[in-house]
Amino acid sequence: MSAPLLEVRDLSVTFKVAQQGAWPWSAPRLLQAVKDASLVLEPGQTLGLVGESGSGKSSLARAIVGTVPASNGQVLWRGEDVVGMGAARHRTHGRHVQMVFQDPLDALNPRMTVGQIVAEPLRTHFPDLSKAEIRTRVGAMMERVGLLPALVNRYPHEFSGGQCQRIGIARALITEPELVVCDEPVSALDVSVQAQVVNLLQDLQRDMGLALLFIAHDLSVVRHISHRIAVMYLGRIVEAADASDLIAKPRHPYTKALIASVPIPSPKAERSRHRPVLKGELPSPIAPPSGCVFRTRCPIAQPSCAEQIPAVERIGADHLVACPFADLAVT
């Protein structure tokens, strides 16, 4: 059996945070943004990654792309570990893995024209291309994402938010990557524009054979585009399964709460259904709870949850959950 396109094994990301009011020589505190995260993504598939703000989704994405260092673990690209690779190899890897960011306007250089922005990765990864070849490729990619090629000489501030996100997608796809990491690409857009961008990504995925890592806190968007979904809480993956299986039969109490937060179009059904509500706030990643990190907000927490970090167990063919009392959480 061939290796997956992307496999993340026990990946951790730690940041040093200075203590406010501490002496200059005091040791910094450690913020555990990601802890022992494991994921698998096959070619041409979409893996959705969901969780509240502060769960560590973006830190995990940036560690996969290589823009933040991993403190532990492996990121295997077609079976080869890319963590800690040299600058030259990382540049080659960057051609195959690109990223679309959350804020479409902030992600674009306001001093560059759209044509220059989209062409920049080509100049980095294909320095031998002529100006004419670059113009041809940029025009074709602009048209592919639904923008007129004649707009290449305009600047980002002349476009709407949805158009700017299309420009960001064009920049990510211009090198014909195999994987695109989408870090909450629709959260800053209007609802109607969100649907257009999600549909565009699905069309491009089908036409180009792309794999997508789609990050969002809105489960309704993620389940629409994803083949598989992983749920993240305070730096840890607490559940992962095929999208249809996870939505139909969530096992972890946190996953159940996320699904319950998605509105139902029918007002009658919305009023009558049971909606488990999470109590309290997301704990600080600088001082996470002992044992299970979700226990301080969990409706089925047991005394033993404070003593031991729950192991990830397999339920059925390919449903992973990190909760020894998962059966208590099933509706």
Task: Write out pLDDT tens, residues 165-222.
Answer: 999 999 999 999 999 999 999 988 888 899 999 999 999 999 999 999 999 988 888 9
Per-residue pLDDT at 269: 60
Sheet architecture: strand order including 29-41: 29-41, 6-17, 72-77, 80-81
Per-residue pLDDT at 94: 80
How confident is residue 274, by pLDDT bands cut at 50, 70 and 90?
Answer: low
Lowest mean pLDDT among 89-93, 96-100, 226-230: 89-93
Per-residue pLDDT at 267: 67
The domains of the chain, with CATH numbers, are 6-250 (3.40.50.300)
Task: Write out pLDDT tens, residues 93-129.
Answer: 788 999 999 888 889 999 999 999 999 999 999 999 9
Per-residue pLDDT at 265: 65
Average pLDDT score over residue span 295-313: 92
Per-residue pLDDT at 86: 66
Asked whether residue 262 carries a pLDDT value surpassing 90, the answer given is no
Average pLDDT score over residue span 238-253: 94
Average pLDDT score over residue span 311-322: 90
Q: What percent of the chain has pLDDT over 70?
A: 91
How confident is residue 89, by pLDDT bands cut at 50, 70 and 90?
Answer: low
Lowest mean pLDDT among 159-163, 264-268, 319-323: 264-268
Per-residue pLDDT at 22: 66
Task: Write out pLDDT tens, residues 20-56.
Answer: 766 676 778 889 999 999 999 999 999 999 999 889 9
- The values of phi and psi at residue 287, to 5°, are -135, 70
Considering only the C-alpha atoms of the chain, give the largest distance between any 2 of them, rounded to a whole number of Å. Answer: 68
